[in-house]
Structures are given as C-alpha cells and as structure tokens.
C-alpha cells in the first residue's frame, strides 16, 4: 500500500467511524499495518489539507462548516492572553472596527491565541460562528490552529507579521524607525547604546546597523533579548532588560526599547534603583502608545500609525471577501520620531 492509498484508507476509516468518533493513532496503525510514526505523519498532512481534524491521540472527521452570516469578520489576537490588555493593538482594533462598520461589515468575534491554539478549537469556533474573513493581529505563530484557519479562509489579513505570500500583510517600518532613533541619540551625545527586545525583527537590525554606521560599540551584552511568553511584550521585559544592562561593568548611557511597554518597565526599574532618566541614562520606546506621553519623564519614541494599520487591514479583508481574484498585498506603513524628555530633549 503506497502513501496515497494509505491516506485514502485513513479518510475512509474515519468517515466510516462517524462524526462523533475519534480514531486513535494506534488503532489506525494496526488496521493499516504500519508504524504509529507513519500514521502521525499522514494525519498531519491530511489535517493541513483540511481533509480530517487532528486531535490529541488520533483524528476525526472534519465537520461541515456552517454558512457564515453575511459580512462577518473574525479577529484572532496572536500571542496574546488578554483581549484588550495591549494598548498598541487596542488602537489597531478600534480602527478595524470603525472601518468595517463604514464598509458594511462587523466583527463577529475576537479570540486570543490562548483560546484558539489547536485545530480542534479552531474547528469548534467555526462550527459555532463561521466568518467570511479573518484578521490575525500580532506576529503569526506556526501552530496547528493557524494552519487550520489558513486552510479554511482565503480572505485572511495579518497585522504586524506575515502569514505567508498568499495572504495580505499590513506592517510598519520598524527598521528605519530605529535607525532614526540611533541617529538622534548620537546627535544628543550618547555613545554607548543598548537595546531591549522580546525577539529579533527589523527593529533590532536597525539598531545594529545604526551603531555600526556611527562606529559605536557592538557588544553582545548590550543587545538584550528577553523572551516573552504568550502575554507578549509586557513592562516586565523592560525590568529584566534594564537590570541586566545596568549590572554590566560598563553600563550603557542610553537604552533603546523595541516597544513603549518595554521602555515603561525599564524606566520603572531605573527609578526604583535611583538611576535618573535622562541624567544618568536615556531611554526610548517604540509605538507611541497614549501612555508614553505621561511617563516621568515623558518617553521619546517612534510613532507607528496604528489607526492607519487597522484601517488598511479592514479594507484589505473586505476586498478579498468581495473579489476572489483580488491578489494579496504586503503594505508597510511609515514611522517617525516623537521627541520628548526621556533622552534629554523635547
């Protein structure tokens, strides 16, 4: 029995078992006379093609999807536990909601990745509330839930990270935003620049290229990655990063942060340890969330056009819903410096 025959037999066995029955990996292996590892590979491939529903210990039949209510769009907050806890994405979602309403559409549901992180959970969501399009908010994760959603929805738009070339992407120019920030700090007289982030992206490359262009110290210890959990980039990352940087034998005189929330956490740690901002060390952020104007001192940051990103995402998902021939686009929005007091200028 070759691979194609084996996979066709798996589908046949699952269909014969009925919709409520889950066939276990061991049972399928015994029926087919192959190893469980071979069956697991087959189930993974068939699940990615949307031909069966992969579940823990086996697989079941894909349930027929209900017809979506007209003009429904779903939102999945990728790598977030709280639906409304991130001020950056709250601003984006507000713009998405406003533009969808203007175009005659509406948000059917908002779910977090913590709620929808398996194919079974994604399928259950579609059974209860199918949608015409989906907007992924946040850097996409490679999970079976995301893979399942991508196999079921053509009109899918990703914000702040790519879901692949077959889908629309709306992002921002993080590279040049940080490059401009490095230039500004050097003009202000800072020479030992550090960086705190949650993961590598274009912003970090902008920092590295910026300090290289100015001939500044490029030490691994000055570029701190604090790996975030599913809660995302919280102020706690800034606490950890600032503690690590200021404990160096030769600490930085300025700390660039990959987000405002990280910067807020860094400033809080510095205050708690009697390190003055900006007199002892300058701090900058990225995003220009509303809270950044009210830190003490107010935070120099990079403006990301959050409402524009949300508006573009809504427009693109509607175009993909209404036109099957609409090609996916990758759109990068601009950024600009917002100069305040946290690096000694306003």
CA distance 45 to 168: 24
CB within 8 A of 325, min separation 6: which ones? none
- The owner of tokens 């705190």 is 196
What secondary structure letter does DSSP report for 213?
A: H
- Rounded Cα distance between 208 and 57, Å, is 45
Q: How far apart are CA 198 and CA 228, in angstroms?
A: 6
Residue among 140, 137, 133, 125 nearest 94 (CA): 137
Cα separation, 47 vs 53, in Å, equals 6
**Segment 301-325 mean pLDDT:** 96
CB–CB of 113/78 below 8 Å? yes
Distance between CA atoms of 129 and 264, rounded to whole angstroms?
Answer: 38
Report the pLDDT averaged over residues 193-205. 96
- Give the three-state DSSP class for 134: strand
Percent of the chain with pLDDT over 70: 93
Furthest-apart CA pair in the chain: how many Å? 74
Please state, rounded to an integer, the average pLDDT across all residues of the chain.
89
Task: Please answer whether residues 272 and 160 qualify as being in contact, where contact means their C-beta atoms are separated by less than 8 angstroms.
Answer: no
The strand ranges marked E within the chain are 23-24, 53-55, 58-60, 72-77, 106-112, 133-137, 156-159, 168-172, 193-197, 223-225, 254-257, 282-284, 301-304, 330-333, 335-338
pLDDT at 268: 98
**pLDDT surpasses 60 at 65:** no
Beta strand 335-338 with 301-304 is antiparallel
Residue 299 has pLDDT above 80, yes or no: yes
Q: How long, in residues, is the chain?
A: 346
| pLDDT in the model for residue 245 | 98
Q: How far apart are CA 226 and CA 146, in angstroms?
A: 25
SS3 47: helix
DSSP secondary structure code for residue 326 in this structure: P
Question: Do 138 and 232 contact (CB within 8 A), yes or no?
Answer: yes
- C-beta neighbour count of 123 within 10 angstroms: 23
Please count the CA atoms within 13 angstroms of the CA of 269 that sit on its side-chain side: 22
Quote the pLDDT of residue 284. Answer: 98
Q: Is the pLDDT of residue 118 over 90?
A: no
At 11 the pLDDT is: 80
Q: Is the pLDDT of residue 71 over 70?
A: yes
Alpha-carbon 151 to chain mean position: 19
With 70 as the cut, is the pLDDT of residue 68 above it? no
Query: Rounded CA gap, 174 and 206, in Å?
Result: 8
φ, ψ of residue 76 in degrees (nearest 5) = -120, 115
Question: Mean pLDDT, to the nearest integer, of 143-154?
Answer: 84
The burial of 65, by beta-carbon neighbours within 10 Å (0-12 exposed, 13-18 middle, 19 or more buried), is given as: exposed
Task: Check residue 344 and give its pLDDT.
Answer: 82
Most confident of 9-13, 232-236, 268-272: 268-272
Contact 319, 326 (CB under 8 A): yes
pLDDT tier at 79, thresholds 50, 70, 90:
low
């Amino acid at each position: 029995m070759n691979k194609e025959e084996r996979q066709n037999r798996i589908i046949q066995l699952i269909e014969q078992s009925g919709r409520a029955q889950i066939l276990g990996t061991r049972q399928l292996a015994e029926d087919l006379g192959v190893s469980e590892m071979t069956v697991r590979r087959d189930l993974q491939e068939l699940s990615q093609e949307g031909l069966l529903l992969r579940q823990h210990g086996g697989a079941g039949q894909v349930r027929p999807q209900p017809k979506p209510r007209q003009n429904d769009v779903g939102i999945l907050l990728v790598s977030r536990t709280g639906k409304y806890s991130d001020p950056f994405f709250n601003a984006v979602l507000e713009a998405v909601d406003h533009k969808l309403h203007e175009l005659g559409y509406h948000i059917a549901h908002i779910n977090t990745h913590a709620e929808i992180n398996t194919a079974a959970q994604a399928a259950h969501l579609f059974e209860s509330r199918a949608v015409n399009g989906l907007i992924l908010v946040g850097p996409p994760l490679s999970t079976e839930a995301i893979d399942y959603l991508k196999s079921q929805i053509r009109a899918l738009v990703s914000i702040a990270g790519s879901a692949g070339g077959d889908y629309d992407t709306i992002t921002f120019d993080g590279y040049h935003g940080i490059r401009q920030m490095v230039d500004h700090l050097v003009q202000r007289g800072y020479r030992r620049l550090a960086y705190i982030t949650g993961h590598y992206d274009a912003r970090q490359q902008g920092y590295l290229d910026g300090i290289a262009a100015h001939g500044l110290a490029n030490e691994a210890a000055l570029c701190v990655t604090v790996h975030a959990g599913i809660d995302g980039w919280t102020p706690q990352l800034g606490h950890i990063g600032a503690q690590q940087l200021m404990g160096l034998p030769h600490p930085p005189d300025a700390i660039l942060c990959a987000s405002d929330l990280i910067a807020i956490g860094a400033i809080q740690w510095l205050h708690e340890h009697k390190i003055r901002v900006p007199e002892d060390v300058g701090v900058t952020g990225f995003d220009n969330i509303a809270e950044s104007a009210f830190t003490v001192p107010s935070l120099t940051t990079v403006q990301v056009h959050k409402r524009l990103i949300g508006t573009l995402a809504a427009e693109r998902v509607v175009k993909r819903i209404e036109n099957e021939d609409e090609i996916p686009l990758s759109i990068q929005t601009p950024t600009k410096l917002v100069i305040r007091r946290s690096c000694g200028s306003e």
